[in-house]
Amino acid sequence: MLMSKNKEFVKFEKVDKSYDGKILVVKDLNLDISEGEFITMLGPSGSGKTTCLMMLAGFETPTNGEIYLDKNPISNIPPHKRGIGMVFQNYALFPHMTVYENLAFPLRVRKMPKDEADKKIDKALSMVSLSGFENRMPGQLSGGQQQRVAVARALVFDPSVVLMDEPLGALDKNLRESMQYEIKHIHESIGVTVVYVTHDQGEALTMSNRIAVFNDGKVQQLSSPDQLYERPVNSFVAEFIGENNTFAGEISDISSDKCKVKVNGGEIIANPISVKSKGEKTTVSIRPERALINPKGGMDNNHKGKIEEVIYHGDHTRVRLSLLGNSDFILKVPNSSENLDIKLGNTINIGWNSQDARALDPK
């Protein structure tokens, strides 16, 4: 993935935001974004992610703190002078203008000569595979084509940063997935800094260099997609990113790299991430694909579970078990002729490694 000079380009420094002077919707945000990076702000509704994007765009002002763009404070600079491109969920195209006129608008505002503007428009439309659509009206385009025009318009004036606020939320599943790859490839080819907002975990994992997971106005974890999924630092991140099995328990023994957790119906050997001492409450997190049926030795957790539900998903079978007092323990089993034990009501052996069972903060 193209990442340019790796220098700090966007910086949120001790940023707070309150709309009523009492409740902070963004709390003490410190976030550095590198030049050329694709960073996603991910979180549930009301977590503060869109407010952060709106402050960077200039549509909202921080209550405290400062935002820097290329080391320059920008809180007092109006949106149109920040050199930032924006893509919204609802496309925000001018319906009475052709595709060409929509793309020409930000160039005309910048008083660019027509021959230079024409070259930039041709380049931007080629980038989103819409060459030849210059004379179409937005109403003559599909949703995916309209969103491509919106992306082209955000890129046409060579902005230093492009902000995208749930840009694919209005598209159907297949189109949304193809547009994810398209935007990812555009970013890789031109290396522009992208700050992307979504509540869709799969979208964030697919597209980003790094993901900032927001909850309650704070960044819970800032990591690469693989680190975020494989090594969540707390229960919120583990639950919010991907599917997750959890057990509530108490630490009965602990060393530097392993702990024993007493749970309803038995004991789990786990990786002590957020716990330090015996007697602490914890939530143990295990990804569905990390637990195996009839494991062939070497796993330090082995338990019996009863199959409560079997759902065929094509490339895998989703199995719900009762195991260690949890009636919603999920397995994702790759489909093969070996899955002979997967029948409703069967009791089967399940195993996983202690390093894949993360002892996190109690929920």
- Note whether 312 and 329 are same-domain residues: yes
DSSP-based three-state secondary structure for 13:
strand
- Note whether 277 and 214 are same-domain residues: no
Instruction: Decide if 3 is inside a domain.
Output: no
Give the integer Cα–Cα distance in Å for 39 and 42: 9
The pLDDT tens digits for 36-76 are 999 999 999 999 999 999 999 999 999 999 999 999 999 99
Instruction: Decide if 2 is inside a domain.
Output: no
The pLDDT of residue 254 is: 93
CATH of residue 105's domain is 3.40.50.300
CATH of residue 315's domain is 2.40.50.100
Domain, as residue range, for 60: 8-235
Give the integer Cα–Cα distance in Å for 31 and 212: 9
- Note whether 202 and 265 are same-domain residues: no
- Note whether 203 and 274 are same-domain residues: no
The pLDDT of residue 169 is: 83
Phi and psi of 356, rounded to 5°? -90, -5
DSSP 16-46: EEESSSSSEEEEEEEEEEETT-EEEEE--TT
Domain boundary among 235, 262, 288: 235
* DSSP conformational letter for 77: S
The pLDDT tens digits for 17-31 are 999 989 999 999 999
How confident is residue 92, by pLDDT bands cut at 50, 70 and 90?
confident
- Note whether 212 and 270 are same-domain residues: no
How confident is residue 2, by pLDDT bands cut at 50, 70 and 90?
very low
Give the integer Cα–Cα distance in Å for 76 and 50: 19
The pLDDT tens digits for 308-362 are 999 988 888 899 999 999 999 999 988 875 665 688 999 999 999 999 999 999 9
- Note whether 273 and 146 are same-domain residues: no
Domain boundary among 214, 235, 256: 235
Tell me the average pLDDT of the chain: 91
Give the integer Cα–Cα distance in Å for 263 and 250: 7
**Residue predicted with more confidence, 16 or 296:** 16
The pLDDT tens digits for 231-289 are 999 999 999 998 999 999 999 999 888 999 999 989 999 999 999 999 999 999 999 99
How confident is residue 363, by pLDDT bands cut at 50, 70 and 90?
confident
- Note whether 15 and 116 are same-domain residues: yes
Instruction: Decide if 1 is inside a domain.
Output: no
Instruction: Decide if 96 is inside a domain.
Output: yes
Cβ pair 87, 192 in contact under 8 A? no
Cβ pair 42, 91 in contact under 8 A? no
Cβ pair 288, 332 in contact under 8 A? yes
Instruction: Decide if 27 is inside a domain.
Output: yes
- Note whether 33 and 143 are same-domain residues: yes
Percent of the chain at pLDDT > 90 equals: 76
- Note whether 66 and 162 are same-domain residues: yes
- Note whether 189 and 279 are same-domain residues: no
- Note whether 178 and 282 are same-domain residues: no
User: How many domains, in total, are found in the chain?
Assistant: 2
Q: Which two tokens stand for residue 228?
A: 């975020």
Domain boundary among 189, 214, 235: 235
- Note whether 196 and 113 are same-domain residues: yes
